[in-house]
């Protein structure tokens, strides 16, 4: 009996998917774009996704179909594009109809800026943005500089044992300490506490995005097709909720002890107070305390892995290209000489080649695969092109950054692309590691300043070279990030 019921449910589900695909085909064909033909079960996604590095799949599809095409997520049509004009139309011109991502029906504890849309997103964004003003960021320069100096002190001790360092882990320690002190107001002692719970939570938090077998790929595709199931099926790993609990406990301790600060946690507490004390406010009508605390957890995650990964891969690219590394070091030393040896807010803004190297690394190895939006109202985004309500639009980042039409000789690491005299050649919205439009990453400037200070301090003291064990191998099955387990390099003190 049980077996008969299960078979019946499976047959019913497959029939629903089949008729949904047939219903959508006419609309899709009228769009006039190539179609990545769906298979019967997963749509256009490969069942063996766990066997691939996702950016290789996305690059292959873009070579086959061009800059814009349609694929299926099970039976749901998804418009995929790297066309800058279409991206502008969707993410800027008609933003009000594309301000949402997938309509996840998730619980408030995971309702972060990245997973919300509509009025809730607007309220959260408006209330979190004051934390990232130029004035606030200038105030973070001193602790950021001190943390980078702690990293150098750690290296001075560590290389006495061996010059070979896992730079990914080293930079994870740096980003953990930076976020802990600058946003949460606590010290994590990340460089020396090898059993840090915070470090482990950060490393484990993205595990839910990695597919290990065909069944996980099928379930993941099913959740994207039926996003309301996220309300009933727990997708976020336990590590995320542990970071949520850490955020909540820090906020509670500050209230109980009367601690007053001006950091990210303080802004969150102000918003919680507003929700409680002024129930008639717009924030109180949309947000709960859980929604607000969730922003702390995601700020930790968003700034931890992506920044550490970018710093590590940039060191790799500099290690295998010593001429670029030497040129960058010359600039760092020259600017420091002109600023009394200081690395501060003013001096790092004069390091244009440093900024160019960071941008080129974000181009050639963007840490996140794609951004997405969902249409909330039938919209004619361009003459004759109507996107229906509910249709998702994906914007692959890696494929845009590696398109030779946008970036000639795209596989060559060439920071000069981003120097002032050449930046005019970069078409708007073809370089978008932090997204674009009003949903541009809120922590972009925080991350860039953190990276500039860390690299300036490191390269003024150390030369980075490949070791006998240096290899950069990207993990298969990750549906969200360009990830790798470790990155070993030699560091030679100057």
The dihedral sign for the CA sequence 475, 480, 486, 489 = positive
441 in a labelled binding site: yes
CA distance 275 to 486: 43
CA distance 494 to 484: 29
Q: Of 75, 77, 163, which Cα lies nearest the Cα of 388? A: 77
CA distance 390 to 292: 27
Q: Of 482, 425, 410, 412, which Cα lies nearest the Cα of 62? A: 410
CA distance 397 to 306: 14
Q: Where are the beta strands (DSSP E) in 242-390?
A: 370-374, 379-382, 385-387
CA distance 220 to 291: 24
Q: Of 440, 451, 492, which Cα lies nearest the Cα of 351? A: 451
Tokens of 160: 């006495």
Question: Strand 379-382 vs strand 385-387: parallel, antiparallel, or unpaired?
Answer: antiparallel
CA distance 470 to 455: 20
CA distance 214 to 332: 48
CA distance 459 to 186: 27
Q: Of 40, 478, 471, 425, which Cα lies nearest the Cα of 216? A: 478
CA distances from 126 to 131, 267, 271 (A): 10, 12, 11
- Binding-site residue numbers are 441
- Binding-site residue numbers for heme are 441
């Amino acid at each position: 009996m049980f077996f008969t019921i299960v078979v019946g449910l499976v047959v019913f589900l497959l029939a629903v998917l089949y008729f949904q695909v047939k219903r959508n085909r006419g609309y899709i064909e009228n769009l006039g774009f190539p179609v990545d033909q769906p298979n019967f079960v997963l749509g256009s996604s490969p069942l063996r996704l766990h066997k691939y590095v996702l950016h290789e799949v996305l690059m292959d599809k873009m070579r086959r179909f061009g800059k814009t095409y349609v694929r299926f997520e099970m039976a749901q049509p998804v418009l995929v594009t790297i066309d800058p004009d279409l991206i502008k139309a969707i993410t800027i011109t008609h933003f009000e109809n594309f301000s949402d991502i997938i309509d996840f029906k998730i619980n408030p504890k995971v309702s972060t800026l990245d997973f919300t849309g509509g009025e809730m997103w607007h309220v959260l964004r408006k209330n979190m943005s004051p934390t990232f003003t130029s004035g606030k960021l200038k105030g973070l320069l001193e602790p950021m500089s001190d943390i980078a100096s702690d990293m150098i002190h750690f290296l001075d001790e560590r290389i006495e044992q061996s010059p070979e360092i896992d730079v990914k882990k080293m930079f994870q320690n740096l980003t953990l300490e930076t976020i802990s002190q600058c946003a949460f107001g606590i010290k994590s002692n990340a460089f020396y506490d090898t059993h840090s719970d915070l470090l482990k939570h950060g490393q484990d938090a993205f595990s839910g995005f990695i597919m290990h077998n065909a069944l996980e790929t099928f379930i993941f595709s099913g959740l994207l097709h039926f996003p309301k199931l996220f309300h009933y099926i727990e997708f976020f790993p336990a590590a995320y909720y542990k970071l949520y609990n850490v955020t909540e406990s820090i906020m509670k301790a500050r209230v109980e002890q009367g601690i007053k600060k001006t950091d990210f946690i303080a802004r969150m507490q102000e918003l919680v107070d507003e929700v409680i004390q002024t129930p008639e406010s717009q924030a109180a009508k949309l947000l709960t305390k859980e929604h607000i605390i969730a922003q702390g957890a995601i700020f930790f995650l968003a700034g931890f892995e992506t920044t550490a990964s970018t710093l590590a891969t940039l060191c790799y690219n500099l290690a295998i290209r010593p001429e670029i590394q030497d040129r960058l070091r010359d600039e760092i030393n020259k600017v420091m000489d002109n600023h009394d040896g200081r690395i501060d807010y003013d001096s790092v803004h004069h390091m244009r080649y440093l900024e160019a190297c960071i941008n080129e690394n974000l181009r050639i190895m963007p840490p996140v695969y794609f951004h997405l939006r969902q249409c909330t109202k039938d919209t004619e985004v361009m003459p004759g092109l109507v996107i229906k309500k509910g249709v998702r639009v994906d914007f692959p980042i890696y494929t845009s950054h590696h398109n030779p039409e946008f970036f000639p000789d795209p596989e060559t690491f060439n920071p000069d692309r981003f120097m002032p005299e050449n930046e005019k050649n970069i078409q708007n919205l073809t370089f978008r590691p932090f997204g674009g439009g009003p949903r541009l990453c809120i922590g972009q400037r925080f991350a860039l300043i953190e990276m500039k200070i860390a690299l300036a301090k490191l390269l003024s003291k150390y030369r980075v070279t490949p070791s006998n064990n240096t290899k950069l191998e990207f993990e298969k099955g990750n549906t969200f990030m360009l990830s790798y387990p470790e990155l070993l390099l030699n560091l030679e003190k100057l």
